Structure 1
Amino acid sequence: MDSDEILPEPRVVEENLDEKYPNRPRNSSSTLPFHELYLNLFHPLSQIKKKPATTAPSRRKVGPHNKSATQLSPYELRRDVIARFISRWRKEVGNDIYPAFRLILPDKDRDRPMYGMKEKVIGKMLVKIMKINKESEDGYNLLNWKLPGQSSTRMAGDFAGRCYDVLSKRPMRTEPGDMSIEEVNEKLDKLAATSKEDEQIPILAEFYRRMNPEELMWLIRIILRQMKVGASERTMFHMWHPDAENLYTVSSSLRRVCWELYDPNIRLEAANRGITLMQCFQPQLAQFQMHSFDKMIMRMQPTEEDPVFWIEEKLDGERMQLHMAPDDTIAGGRRFAFWSRKAKEYTYLYGEGIYDDKGALTRHLKDAFVDGVQSLILDGEMVTWDPEQDAPVAFGTLKTAALAEQRNPFTTGPRPMFRVFDILYLNGEDLTKYTLRDRRNALKVIRPVHRRFEIHPYQEATTTAEIEACLRNVVAEASEGLVLKNPRSQYRLNERHDDWMKVKPEYMTEFGESLDLVVVGGYYGQGHRGGHLGSFLCGLRVDDPKSSQPMKCWSFCKVGGGFTAADYQEIRHHTDGKWMKWDPKKPPTDFIELSGGDAQNERPDMWIKPSDSVVVCVKAASVGVSDMFRMGQTLRFPRSKKLRKDKNWKSALSIQEFLDLKSNVEQEHQEKEFNIDNSRRKRVKRTVKKPLTIAGYDEKDNAQYIGPSGRIFDQLNFFIMTDASVPEKKSKGELEQLVKANGGKIYQTNTAAPNTICIAERRTVKVASLLKSANSNIVKPSWLIDCVKQNEKDAGLPDLILPFEPRHMFFIMEDRDEEININVDPFNDSYARDTHVDELKEILNQMEITQQQNNNPLDPHTLHKVESHIQTKIDSGYTAPCGWLFRGLRFFFCSQAPQASGQETSHKTQVEDAALCLARNTARFASAHIATSLKDPDVTHIIVNTNTLSREDIASLRGSLAARPGNKIPHLVSMDWAQESWKNGTLLDEERFSVSR
């Protein structure tokens, strides 16, 4: 999903809790103080985590049938601490422990939305609240919490611990605070309800005033939902009630667990142990892949009577559960609800009713169910489907596609599609106890809606050969993988079980065995790796083509797994004293190149010269496209296999060696697939030698004239995958002949030659595979034909190849849109190609539509969002745009002093001053507000032209300022202040330009 996409706020539902929970418990007293949580729960649990062999903080009597305090295991010690806290709560507060559990298990609280605050944001706010200099040691430690402190490495990698280190030096109070648990919850609700920094800072500031440093440390962990107390939610649930975990599994509701199971002697009724309509549950998950297919099949317990297992394609989307219930209060009589695997509700996005105008999916489900279906729960995957390619696209585009579908339900672009693979509830009956085969039969109640709401297909199989065949198709289509399922199994809530098993194409195993990469950067770790480099940036060697000597390294992947303690020690020993801090203003481009230009993607905390570094052998699942690394490709799931002490950077893998190795591996897999497929065919003895096949030649193609001959494609390489249908029909062979006749070279793969141009206009297996890898633009054949025709028109002129235009592109790689769009004007009119009549009509029509749209002014809400975004960037250290320089200031331009009568300078007189007029226009461009009267109470600066004012005029002006009501006296400065500020791109000190008598 798009990480920085602005989402609409979820629908707020006012629910009567007394009506929904008539038997909810009531506390007899106010909640405990917040500090009791860390004194009697968090801190003792943390101590057990650090020192599991110490004495127990228990008050139980030690007798012949009880273990002594020193004999208790860490697990028993933790249970004892939790039991004592719960017992005290029941005794002193009451049976409603929900307020406390919201703080003890913040990651399980679905009633409170995410705060939208991570470590960096909280660090910046604390710096402002405590008024710490960013460049000071404490400011540095907060804003660079993963890095070792300037004076010590204590708390590095632990943000909350680093905050405690800084807060304890300047506490507002040293004794525990007076805030209650209930009051903390109220403040956190307000904090989660806003994303504006100016509203969040006062809330954090109040916490700072009323809590001591240790309380604040635990509060920050609650906000980050990273408690790390050493006790799992399973233990917490079990100590509250024996059925608590089961209820949370089927409801994902911490509120229900606390309010329905407040008495441990009353067990959960059988009717409440299963899933509930309109209540999110924790779904079944697929087990990870075993070592062999045979072993995986045996785990599914096949029998001679029923040896079948099912194979499904693993989809690249978001796991989603759909609930539908009858509701006469909503148009259409049906209410829908959607939840993700993480129990996040997406009903606001996909729709709550058939006639929901904002329903990206439900508005298409009017006829999606057979008559008689009143209620159901479906389990499936929400994917993004591209109608033009008739194929799924990347998972990260799902929310963008859903929002586009909300705006226009008939869009021809990508849209969300729900693929159903299970039904768990139907017309009031829980189906989880039925077998998968029976549940699949129940899916007959669904009427699929083409490319919007479909049943996910499966294939029955009995042998490993059938898995291998499906896996080959997965590799060809560049799909996610497979899921093997046991059709005899029941649905297991919140479990990974052998009844469902994932199979991913580890087709780069041979590849990963021999990737010897150079370590060129390091990243500080968290937790037990805090203060030390925990992961490393690895690069490929760039050789000098003239001397074959290494020059530098290109960033290629980030490796953090697979290293042993001995490996880390060996790396530290070999590189000690050679690491340097990465300076974004002066990146070491002579040694290392990152991607993203000034963005410096995957920028490390520290860097090292390749000649001073070590070589690590890296193993990975596959190679994929990535613009986050300079190579343009990276390893998926890389992990260290071993350190190559026998190699230095000159003998590590180079870019060309990597490309050759990749090409060879892909060729081997193609040959292997070809051999396996042919092994099943009946062999026929050949009596005639197979004729030599020439690329682009087909006896059936009668292409006498394929276009003018020339050199427009000279030194260009092409991989043509389909024929052409527009602007004229040409077969694949004719297109290849056209390219060769004009100097180009034809290859049958996009990796056989550098900078190969891929040509296609429809989706085939090869095209789908290339689209999935997304490592190359795909150009339509119309570009070839346009190039030839344009040069035919320009006969006599030098051969020129046309630049790519948006209309020429079948697929554009990420972040490459701009270089394509610059070749046409805003109305898609080409700068380099002659336009025909139909195109001209389309351009003129688009101009008319654009003009109508531009007549609508920017609404204030959008303008406020843009301003907030720019201000956030400025606060993060970005240079302010020139049009932002005087934002928030109000200027009055004065060319003559006020008259004795107090009459203000006329606007006409001001305009006649040419120099002052120029300064005024510059100020307007830089977002300053221009006042028309000196009496304006909001004026911040009075700007004068000292060449037109005498000393008496200035004295009179100062007298007028001194007589202004209130304490807000504006700066009186010369025009030079505005002009010099503009030239330097920053607000200069007004005292340097103050107008004296």
Structure 2
Amino acid sequence: RLNELLDDLTKGARNLEMQMRVIRKICDACTAAEQRWIVRIILKDLAIQVRETSVLGVFHPDARDLFNTCSDLKRVAWELWDPSRNLMVNGCSYTSVAMHTFTPLGIKGTDYTYLYGAHVGAGSLTPYIHSAFDDRIEDCILDGEMMVWDPMLDKYLAFGALKTAAADIMGKVDTRDNDSPRPCFKVFDILLLRNPSNPAPKNFSNTPLSVRRKVLKQVFKPIQGRFELAAQSFGGSVKDVETALEKIVEERGEGLVLKAPDSPYVLAGREAFWVKVKPEYMDSMSDSVDVLVVAGNWGSGRRGGKVSSLICAVRDDYSRAGVSETGLNVYATFVRVGTGLSIEDYDWINKKKWIRMDKKAPPPHMKVSPSGQSDDKGDVYLDPEDWFIISVKAASITTTDEYGTNLTMRFPRCKAIRRDLAVDDCLTWSELRELQGGKRKESDDRQGNSKRRKIGGRKPTTLSLSHQATDVKEVEVISDLFEDMRFLVIPDLTSNNIVSKAVIEKLIHQHGGDFTQVMQGDNTLTVIYGGTKLIPQVKRIMKREDMDILKPQWLTDSIEKGRLVSLQAKYYFFATKEAQEDEAYSMGNDEIDVMTSQRGPKSSSARTPSSSERPCSSSPEPCDISEYLQPISLEEDVTKVPDDPSGSDTQSEPEDLADQLSDEEWTEIAATPASAITDRIKATESSVGVPSEASVGNMSTRVKPAVAITSRQDGESSTVISAMRSEISTTTSKFDQNLYFRNLCFYLDSPENARNENFLVSTSHENKIRLSMERARKDILVHGGAIATGLSDPRLTHLVLHELDKSRRIELIRRTSKPKRRYVVLAGFISACVAEGTLLDEDAFMP
């Protein structure tokens, strides 16, 4: 009777009168003690200090494994009614497949017989594959992936098309429709086999992979586009893997799985002898992550009044707050994403029961940033029963204090809503840290700095990669300019630029200085920071109010002039009151030179080098420092921690000060000296309302950006300026939902561009392709994207082909595969993004 009342209560979730009738029935029929427990059941908080794992462990030894597989208590109670009866195959429920009877099961044990068919006369797959099995096979369990094959396009379709294709083909068995997309089962492995001569089934889970593959080839005959065996090749070197990966990309595949030939089949585990390898694309991590949607923000404009951006979290298995007061797992906020979803997806999302968020008291199961002005609180949130998982990809994972995990993603976008995954399938905090560490290790290996891992013993405590000291053993000291000075160089983690820290530390050592990685209360250090964001380490120094923070430009200018230049306002990222009272602070270059010549240098301060101008004791040989410096560095002085919520900045949705110069204007700058560039930037700032000059003493204003040394190679100027422009857009951009192509650069494979790249071009459909590409070009520019100058453009992220001419696809992939692969899409990708008003997933538009 209680179950029926609870079911009625759920059905009337949107009907308050119906809910009141159900509650009234419970009050009339139950005692006070019974009502208390029923209320706890409804609130999903029994307050008994016992988790479900303890109850399941008492119910049946395999109950926990089965529940983790299916998330269905009814199934657990139904199948595990006898404690003495164990599940088959190490706690995972597998249903044997009898001869001519098929049982397709999903990864969580979901039965898809209704969709794919249980026998030869039903389903969208079974009628086509029943004859492929060897007649001697009685039972077998195959492991594989159900995909969608389109015979007309001669390729596999995107993930979301599977159920649609299976449902469309249901009932078409007799129509002999061989042109429609159809389900195709791609077999990877075999787990169990039984034939009439051997009544006992053979369990292959502990059999080496090489043997299992030989058995598979005898179990069934492949049917192209219906029932296939995953391709296999052998290799023993990195070159073999790269060659196989290139072939996979050219064949429109997703990636490789490397398996040791002697490896067993491990159930519900990730072992070292199975490794997944995917191609790395420009502006994207090689892997996407499955994160949990727990909150959201209201949109603006045409999305006004609806949830437009989603706040996603990962399960907290890392901090001490693993379980909340309500007994639920705690989920730490990680990323905010607002692009990649279609209009239909947003309609589905907005039908959920969104609850207004109290930002001062977020739900106990959400671990948010301690910062009061961070954006991870959201406007609304979801109750646990309404949570769902989305797959998100991004450029990289970076450090921030704006989220509960202290990590987030740069330029994230949603690939798909994962309705096939349960809440427990989302990424964990520990896995996130491993993913971030793995990316840094991989980058380090590519630069040839990987070191052999020590075997055995406890791992020593070490600094993170971004804070480790630079190896300067091979760097020759050429002057004593920075003698007796110790520096602390803070890396700019927000732009994921670890190299700049190493460059600065090498310069310091080269000119007689010393550097350290930790402060430890020492206020005699000279602090150098080249970023634009107020990261936690910078905030802590600013709160002390006894140390200045200088920009790298002070180092480079001192090296160029051969003396310690005076500390003017332009050299400060943050200046203490003492520094602001110094005469040199508010003086210009001309005034400094006059005063220095009249009265000589001042004595050096213990705090930071003040207005002293100490010449080098030796005259070193001319040194071209351009090889150590980034050619162009545009930095912004921030002298106050923003306390306005509108001024908070997150890496998930970067703020964009939109580029105010056209491509032609930037090309003109390429041949202009640094001083002229500074004037152009000041003029540009004035035109958009940004003050070009301000006093650092006024804590509510911002100082004009400073431009560092330009490249001396004229041929490199255009590339340098382009890189600077991309960096401006990346690090200081204000998020605009209409600029969904921002930070992306497209090569349009039009007939003109193809001829410029020395390709052979067919003249058929040339005018039609030209007009289509011109429309795509305009759409890209209107929505914040950039057009590549050619295949060698370092900004290039996407190759756009036309549906009528895809002949250059493989050659384009080969010529643009370094340093990372570019996305290859059809021109329809641009028009579809414009129609949906968001950046869609490229996989659905691969040629």
- Normalization by structure 1: what TM-score? 0.34
- Normalization by structure 2: what TM-score? 0.39
Which protein, 1 or 2, shows the higher relative CO under an 8 Å CA cutoff with sep ≥ 6?
Answer: 2
